[in-house]
Amino acid sequence: MALTETDVRGIAEYARIALDTDELAEMTAYLNDAVAMLDPILEYADADVEPTFHPIGDLANVVRADAADAGRSLPIDEALKDAASTRGRSFRVPSILGEGGDC
Q: For 6-55, what is each residue's pLDDT tens digit?
A: 999 999 999 999 999 999 999 999 999 999 998 888 888 778 877 777 77
Confidence bin at 67 (pLDDT 50/70/90)? confident
pTM: 0.44
Strand, coil or helix: 27: helix
Work out the number of other CB atoms within 10 angstroms of the CB of residue 23: 14
Calculate helix-pair angle for 5-14, 21-36, nearest 10 degrees.
100
Mean pLDDT of the chain: 87
